[in-house]
Each structure stands twice: as C-alpha cells, then as structure tokens.
Amino acid sequence: MATGIKDKVAILGMGCSRFGERWDVGTPQLMAEAFDEALADAGIERGRIEAAWYGSGIDQINVGNSCIPAAMALRLEGIPVSRVENMCATGTEALRGAAYAVASGAVDIALAIGAEKLKDTGYGGLPSAFKGTLNDLWMPMGSAPAGFAQLAAGYRAKHGTTKETLKRALAHVSWKSHQNGALSPKAHLRKPVSMEQIIGAPMIADPLGLYDCCGVSDGAACAIVTTPAIARALGKRELVTVKALQLAAASGVESGTASWDGSHVRTTRNAARRAYAEAGVGDPRRQLSLIEVHDCFSITELVTMEDLGISDDGRAVADILDGFYDRDGGGVPCQVDGGLKCFGHPIGASGLRMAYEVYTQLLGRAGERQLARPPALGLTHNLGGVPYLGVAAISILGLL
C-alpha cells in the first residue's frame, strides 16, 4: 500500500536567480546563478549529484526540448538528466521528479532546476505564444487574462458578490503583493503601489486591471534533495523535508460537460485533498504557516484560498479584506516575497521559486521579509493552463 513521501526527502540546498528583464544574460547564466547558490547552500561538490530534472515551459526559443542545455550549463557530467514540462506547474514537476527519485532509493542526491528566458520568447499572454492542441482546438482566440476573467464572472455568479466588493478584494490582493515584493531583493517588481493606483489602472479583461496581472520575467530556481539521514551525515542540523507533493490534471470534465459552475478550480481541490492527506494536515487554516500560490492574476489567488480549503466557499473576499492573508495579519501569510505578481513568473522556474521562499522562511533566512511568527509548515501551489483546462501542483514543506 502506498505511503507517500512524507519526510523521506530533505532539501539539502536551494538557490534562486534574480528575476526580471535579464537582457544581460542567457538561460545558461540564469541556471548557473541559481545552481551556484544551491550548491554552496548544500555544501557538496557537483559530482555528488546523481540525477537531475530540468524544467522549462516554452522550448521554441532559447533551450529546445531536451535536457542538454541544463547538462551543459551546469557541467553535469555523465549523469541522467531529464527535461520536464507541465505548463506553469513545470518547476514543481521538476521537484517532484527529483524527490521521487530520492524517496524511491534510486539515487542519494538529486537536482531539480527550472529556468525560463521568457522575455526572449516575445510571450505576453496572447494566443500566438502557444501553438498546438491547446490553442488550435480548445481556445483558438483565447488569452490568459480573458480565461481568468471568466473565473471572476463564475465566482460572482455563484456567491452573489457585487462587482465593487470583488474589485476591492482583488485590489487588496495586488496591493499586498507589491508591498511584499518591495522587501525581496531578487524580485522583478519592487515598487509599492497604492490601492488608488490599482483600482484606477487601465482595464485588461474585466474585472482584471493592469495591476491584477503578473508580468513577463526571466529567472531560474533550483533545489538539491537527499534523504534526511544523508543530510544529517553532511552536517545539516535544521532539516526542511518534503511533507507532500501532489499533482492533478484536468480530465476534460470542466470544458466538456455542464457539471462545472466556473467558480473554482477542480484540479487545485483534487491536488490539495491528496496533499493534505499525505502531509497529515487536517485543518489548513490553522496548520499552515505560510503559502505561496499561483497568483498569475489576482482572481486566481482569491479563488485558490477557497480551493485550498483555507477560506470557506464564498468567504475568501471577506478574509482578504480583513487582512487574513497579509504578512502581519494574524492569519496565513500569502505571497510574502511578492508572488508571481511581483517576484515574477518565468514559467519553468516559478514552482521552485515558491519552494525557495518557503525553505528560506522555515530556516529564518529571509532577512527584511522574514515573518515575525516563526513558520513551521509552508505550502506552494501552481496552476498551469486555464481554470477549465489545466494542471495543479502542490508541495508542502516543513521542519523535521
């Protein structure tokens, strides 16, 4: 009978590049920037790494669809390296591969790395960025802002939230991320903005204005994982271990039947349910110390609070406006590094960037942005695709 991977995998070291418009470097340099930090944090030689998983989301430009760019950039001599891609859940998919390899006993030390030179692709959230089945058959005239704006319409219809109240809640989500991003030295956007600026910004896809949408960033993040026993033998005293790693893909129910009401994301709920069972989390509202969620748009973060079971259905708006998810709000701090909205969203790196923040906070290394209340358990959440056709990935990390 399957028992999951709770506490079978420890994070030996992590690294993250500076996110932003990195015109000065290429993808190999971004990977090296994150890898060098992780290697120094782990305190090992690169020759100790026995296998690697490399995640990148858009392969048409920069890196291609093989593992070779990562193997060459990081000088991973003679070991198996796999490239993975799972839309915006790609970074967590890379972590899942490395963690499963260690948990299975196949290797002792593994690497997960995600990188994206997204600015060079010309990607701006428009349909022409992704070619193939997704756009050609399912959403030929669609765009990311439009797809998530529909989520807002479904949410309002189900819960009876007024347009004005929802707009204020969405503005608070974005305001919070900008406040937190200003404290993150590696974040793309580090300028606080006012609620008035957010509410008065140009409309992109009603009700999503300019500040409700994350931007386009370059960046890389990585993790080196091993067993708790090996981590201790290498001198690690405080251990951050993987409590759960779960992924759920859409089956087509949402887009092909009338059973989905458009107010929530089924894949997130499915992944969360399994992750909580694997980690032994019975009450996420009380047990989670911080969360990093996929705030590609402010409405996504709002709906995710309910999909994760932290806010009751229909109550996320009130919790957000009450400051429950603010860094010092007394609830569950969310996006304490600025999230996708302000730290940035290079597709292949985002899941690992979230894990990097949780890892850094758990070990008390976050500097100016360190939470006042020491965290013990953190969750990351990725959502790839659109609400009715995509994939959700969740990791839960905590101290052993």
CA angle 271, 338, 386 (to 5 degrees): 40
pLDDT, residue 133, reads 44
**DSSP 8-state code for residue 66:** S
Domains 10-123+218-233 and 138-212+242-399 share a fold: yes
Q: DSSP for 152-183?
A: HHHHHHHH---HHHHHHHHHHHHHHHHHHHTT
pLDDT, residue 259, reads 83
Both ends of the chain: CA-CA distance in Å? 24
Q: DSSP for 99-160?
A: HHHHHHTS-SSEEEEEEEEGGGGT-SS-GGGS-SHIIIII-TT--HHHHHHHHHHHHHHHH-
**Cα separations in angstroms, 216 against 267, 296, 348:** 24, 10, 12
Which contacts (CB < 8 Å, 24+ apart) does range 248-252 have?
A: 248/274, 248/391, 248/392, 248/393, 249/390, 249/391, 250/385, 250/388, 250/389, 250/390, 250/391, 252/389
Please state, as a whole number, how many other Cβ atoms lie within 10 Å of the Cβ of residue 195: 13
Per-residue tokens: 308: 């994760």
- Positions marked catalytic: 88, 345
- Domain spans of the chain? 10-123+218-233, 138-212+242-399
pTM here is 0.95
Q: DSSP for 330-385?
A: SS--B-TT-HHHHT---TTTHHHHHHHHHHHHHTT--GGG--SSPP-EEEEEEEEE
Q: How far apart are CA 175 and CA 181, in angstroms?
A: 10
pLDDT, residue 137, reads 52
Burial class (CB in 10 A: 0-12, 13-18, 19+), 49: buried
Please state, as a whole number, how many other Cβ atoms lie within 10 Å of the Cβ of residue 106: 12
Burial class (CB in 10 A: 0-12, 13-18, 19+), 135: middle
Contact 181, 337 (CB under 8 A): yes
- CATH 3.40.47.10 is held by the domain 10-123+218-233: yes
Residues of the chain whose pLDDT is less than 50? 129-134
| Polymer length of the chain | 400
CATH superfamily for domain 138-212+242-399: Thiolase/Chalcone synthase (3.40.47.10)
pLDDT, residue 129, reads 47
pLDDT, residue 304, reads 98
Q: Within 13 Å and on the Cβ side, how many CA atoms surround 203?
A: 6
